[in-house]
Amino acid sequence: MRRGSEHVILERSVQVERIPDGYPMELAEGQSVMITQALGSAFTLWVDGQLVRLRGEDADAIGQPVPEAPEIPDSVGPEEVEALAWQAMRTCYDPEIPVDIVELGLVYSCEILPYDDEGGLLIKVRMTLTAPGCGMGPILGKEVSEKLGALPHVERVEVELVFDPPWDRSMMSEAAALALGL
């Protein structure tokens, strides 16, 4: 996807989440919006002086194609799920920052554990936010959970938002810092 800005007119009414508190809002058909970020599987829009997050499955409302989920080979075994989990989390973006949550250093751990006797897996993720009061936490956590839950052999996903240690810029990868001009 891309980062930039493009003015569009909503082709239908759509539910969005206000940034940074996650409050649900409805935007009306015909409303003018600006796409400010189109990364991962969501869009960040500027609407009447406010940033909002549009889910990828609603991309048609802004005349964009629905972002495609990454292809997962049929032959993936349980031992390969951890690499796929990290890959999936790299498609999750903070709606205000054009860097994925892994490169931002928001994911503290990702454990792959046996879940049942049939080879099912449990994925436990510990992650944080750039600011403890950010209302987008549950929304980002849900996105991570949905993407990990779609992986082969995964029967359950637990995403825990933690604030110890608190996030700071030193947790970003060098690539993230460069992308943000830091």
Same-domain pairing of 115 and 158? yes
CB 85 within 8 A of CB 107: no
Provide the mean pLDDT of the chain: 89
In a domain, 73, yes or no: no
pLDDT over 60 (residue 93): yes
Q: Which of 62, 87, 108 is the last residue of a domain?
A: 62
Confidence at residue 4, expressed as pLDDT on a 0 to 100 scale: 58
pLDDT over 70 (residue 103): yes
Task: Give Cβ neighbours of residue 78 (< 8 Å, ≥ 6 apart).
Answer: 112, 119, 121, 153
Domain enclosing residue 140, as ranges: 78-179
Number of domains composing the chain: 2
CB 10 within 8 A of CB 122: no
Confidence at residue 2, expressed as pLDDT on a 0 to 100 scale: 47
- Whichever domain contains 138, its CATH number is 3.30.300.130
The angle that helices 81-89 and 137-149 make with each other, rounded to 10 degrees, is 140
Same-domain pairing of 86 and 153? yes
Same-domain pairing of 45 and 102? no
Q: What is the mean pLDDT of residues 31-45?
A: 91
Confidence at residue 35, expressed as pLDDT on a 0 to 100 scale: 94
Look at residues 85, 92, 71, 89 and name the one whose alpha carbon lies nearest to residue 122.
85
pLDDT over 80 (residue 77): no
**48 or 4: whose pLDDT is higher?**
48
In a domain, 161, yes or no: yes
Same-domain pairing of 45 and 121? no
Same-domain pairing of 115 and 160? yes
In a domain, 72, yes or no: no
pTM for the structure as a whole: 0.81
pLDDT over 50 (residue 13): yes
Q: Locate 18 and state its tokens.
A: 């206000």
In a domain, 169, yes or no: yes
* Type of residue at 33: V
